[in-house]
């Protein structure tokens, strides 16, 4: 009898451990397999059109504006991105979480000849802030590179000082907020339905994003 109870306990512990691992894995970002595309049109520093997927918003980064309005280093960032994509021998995309944003644009990491384009833009000082709709595979490394660019006053940072909206505060574990004003202090562009900080009451237009601007 005692041996039987012991076996039941062992089985229960094993089952609980298994499900705990599943929960942890589901919370961590896992970038998908890379796939090759061709450039159709380069729009600006963080947007382009590719074969297979159409209009694509580069994951995680936000470069200065260069189309509807022009911000400092916007044109420079756009030229850098477009030159890289135009001259590339190989362009690959990689999904990491949600594949589309609320506007129907593809969300992906962009690899140009084996190098992550988002990373190269940050190193040049052409990224003014991050947007965060979840947890991404490369964000820790990119956050560190952004801090280095700001410290060295490279590119955009030669004329601007870091603020709460340009440094990434999303490393905070805080996921409970009273309202959108508080949430945006940590997640400036709001959060998706899959994010732990998402609350239905903050998603007034019911589009799956809470507190987006």
Catalytic residue at 204? no
pTM above 0.75, yes or no: no
- Nearest alpha-carbon partner for 137 in 174, 108, 173: 108
Mean pLDDT over 170-195 rounds to 69
Q: In this predicted structure, what is the pLDDT of residue 146?
A: 96
> Within its chain, how far is the Cα of 14 from the centroid?
35
Alpha helices in the chain (DSSP H): 2-27, 74-87, 117-123, 139-152, 180-186
In terms of residue numbers, what domain contains 145?
35-170
- Does residue 148 sit in the same domain as residue 193? no
- Does residue 112 sit in the same domain as residue 196? no
Q: In this predicted structure, what is the pLDDT of residue 69?
A: 85
Which among 57, 139, 184, 212 is annotated as catalytic? 57
- Does residue 105 sit in the same domain as residue 138? yes
Structural domain includes residue 26: no
CATH, residue 135: 2.40.50.90
Higher pLDDT among residues 40 and 201, named by residue: 40
Q: Pick the last residue of a domain from 137, 154, 170.
A: 170
Structural domain includes residue 187: yes
128 close to 64: Cβ distance less than 8 angstroms: yes
Q: In this predicted structure, what is the pLDDT of residue 199?
A: 86
Q: Whole-angstrom Cα distance, residue 212 to residue 204?
A: 10
Q: Which two tokens stand for residue 107?
A: 């969300």
Structural domain includes residue 27: no
Catalytic residue at 65? yes
Q: Whole-angstrom Cα distance, residue 123 to residue 97?
A: 24
> Within its chain, how far is the Cα of 83 from the centroid?
23
Confidence of residue 160 (pLDDT cuts 50, 70, 90): confident
Which among 71, 105, 120, 148 is annotated as catalytic? 105
Catalytic residue at 184? no
Structural domain includes residue 21: no
197 close to 183: Cβ distance less than 8 angstroms: yes
Higher pLDDT among residues 137 and 205, named by residue: 137
Higher pLDDT among residues 185 and 144, named by residue: 144
DSSP single-letter state for residue 62: E
| Residue found by looking up tokens 């998402």 in the block | 198
Mean pLDDT over 159-180 rounds to 63
Q: In this predicted structure, what is the pLDDT of residue 11?
A: 47
Higher pLDDT among residues 75 and 192, named by residue: 75
Least trusted range by pLDDT, from 36-40, 87-91, 143-147, 204-208: 204-208
Q: In this predicted structure, what is the pLDDT of residue 135?
A: 83
Specify the number of domains making up the chain. 2
Q: In this predicted structure, what is the pLDDT of residue 196?
A: 74
Mean pLDDT over 195-199 rounds to 77
Which among 65, 92, 139, 212 is annotated as catalytic? 65
Higher pLDDT among residues 79 and 25, named by residue: 79
- Using H for helix, E for strand and C for coil, what is the string for 152-212? HCCHHHHCCCCCCCCCCCCCCCCCCCCCHHHHHHHCCCCEECCCCCCCHHHCCCCCCEECC
């Amino acid at each position: 009898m005692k041996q039987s109870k012991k076996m039941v306990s062992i089985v229960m512990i094993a089952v609980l451990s298994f499900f705990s691992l599943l929960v942890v894995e589901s919370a961590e970002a896992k970038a998908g397999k890379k796939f090759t595309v061709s450039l159709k049109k380069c729009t600006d520093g963080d947007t382009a059109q590719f074969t297979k997927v159409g209009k694509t918003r580069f994951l995680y980064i936000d470069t200065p504006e260069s189309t509807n309005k022009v911000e400092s280093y916007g044109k420079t960032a756009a030229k850098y991105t477009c030159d890289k994509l135009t001259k590339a021998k190989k362009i690959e995309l990689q999904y990491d979480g949600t594949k589309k944003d609320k506007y129907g644009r593809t969300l992906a990491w962009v690899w140009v000849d084996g190098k992550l384009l988002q990373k190269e833009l940050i190193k040049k000082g052409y990224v003014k802030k991050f947007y965060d709709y979840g947890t991404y595979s490369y964000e820790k490394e990119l956050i560190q590179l952004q801090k280095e660019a700001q410290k060295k006053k490279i590119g955009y940072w030669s004329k601007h000082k870091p603020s709460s909206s340009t440094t990434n505060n999303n490393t905070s574990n805080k996921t409970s907020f009273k309202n959108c004003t508080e949430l945006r202090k940590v997640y400036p562009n709001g959060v998706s339905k899959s994010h732990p900080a998402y609350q239905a009451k903050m998603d007034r237009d019911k589009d799956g994003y809470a507190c987006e601007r």
